[in-house]
A = this chain, B = another copy of it.
Amino acid sequence: MSFRKMLEDAWAGQNSLVCVGLDTDLKKIPVHLLSAERPIFEFNKAIVDATAEMVCAFKPQIAYYAARAAEDQLLATISYIHDKYPGIPVILDAKRGDIGATAELYAQEAFIRYGADAVTVNPYLGFDSVEPFLRYEDKGVVLLCRTSNPGAKDFQDLRVGTQTLYQHIAMTVSEKWNSRGNAMLVVGATYPKELAEVREIAPDVPFLVPGVGAQGGDVEAAVSNGKDRAGTGMVINSSRGIIYASSGKDFAEAARCEAMKLRDEINRFR
């Protein structure tokens, strides 16, 4: 099944646009888990089980695993989600990007080694750096467009002709790179005006939207400005706001509550 279909089924079947970000940091997980053999995986498993009912996707951020040599726990997490919740796509947040031959290896890393359903990719190196990912027709390729951080202004907002750079990238992805229907765009919730602009440029491209929760993005503005004609088209990620809702033994239950709150808040504005 294609990533796009999987995502549409998850939006409808789960009645949710929420994505839980598995940015699992050993310094932040409950101390009682630290004695486990695979503490990151144990934490993720509990979070996944507690929140799966509320989400349309999970998004592990690979840096958290790579910094700790915990690739095995990343793989175990993705396999666990696929085995237990086969309808829920996993977006590997890796922001890879390199020239053709190397890009193909990064695509293998994401799609074959880890079995992710989609991966985030940095478009700065241009089409031949993205094409090796897009060729995996059943996988999603999530291109950075307008990110949620303050530094997004440094280059993404520069004017190139009549557009900003991020608008130009949105147009390029929507009109050229998305010929297989498997592209997405990252547009941060912290900049709702930009979300509306990108939605106008790319009416049919799904967005991955970071920046609600800990980063402070306004849910109503993000949903109103970012949703597509069907009232979906968004994968709205929250990581820290959900997974670290409690640092005690009730962490999974607290995460479930936060995921439910976010799902319901989003659904009010669709």
Contact = CB atoms under 8 A, between A and B. Distances in A.
Given A63-B103, A66-B109, 5 more contacts: A71-B71, A99-B149, A155-B165, A159-B160, A160-B165
- Interface of chain A, helix or strand or loop or mixed? helix
A125 to B, nearest CB: 5
Contact of A67 (B95, B109, B154): B109
Given A23-B102, A69-B113, A144 B124 contact: yes
Contacts of A103: 63
A129 B95 CA distance: 12
Contacts of A68: 113
A51 interface: no
A142 to B, nearest CB: 13
Contacts of A165: 155, 158, 160, 165
B149 A108 contact: no
Interface string A154-181: 1110111100010011001000000000
A43 interface: no
A123 B109 CA distance: 22
> 3 shortest A-B CB distances, which residue pairs?
A126-B151, A126-B154, A63-B105
Contacts of A136: none
A127 interface: yes
Contacts of A147: 99, 125-126
A203 interface: no
Interface string A137-152: 0000000100111111
A3 to B, nearest CB: 20
Contacts of A77: none
A93 B103 CA distance: 12
Interface in A29-45: none
Contacts of A61: 98, 102
**Max chain B CB contacts within 10 Å: which of A61, A102, A130, A144?**
A102
A213 interface: no
A218 interface: no
Contact of A122 (B23, B97, B130, B158): B97
A80 interface: no
Contacts of A96: 63, 95
Given A147-B99, A158-B165, A165-B158, A66 B125 contact: no
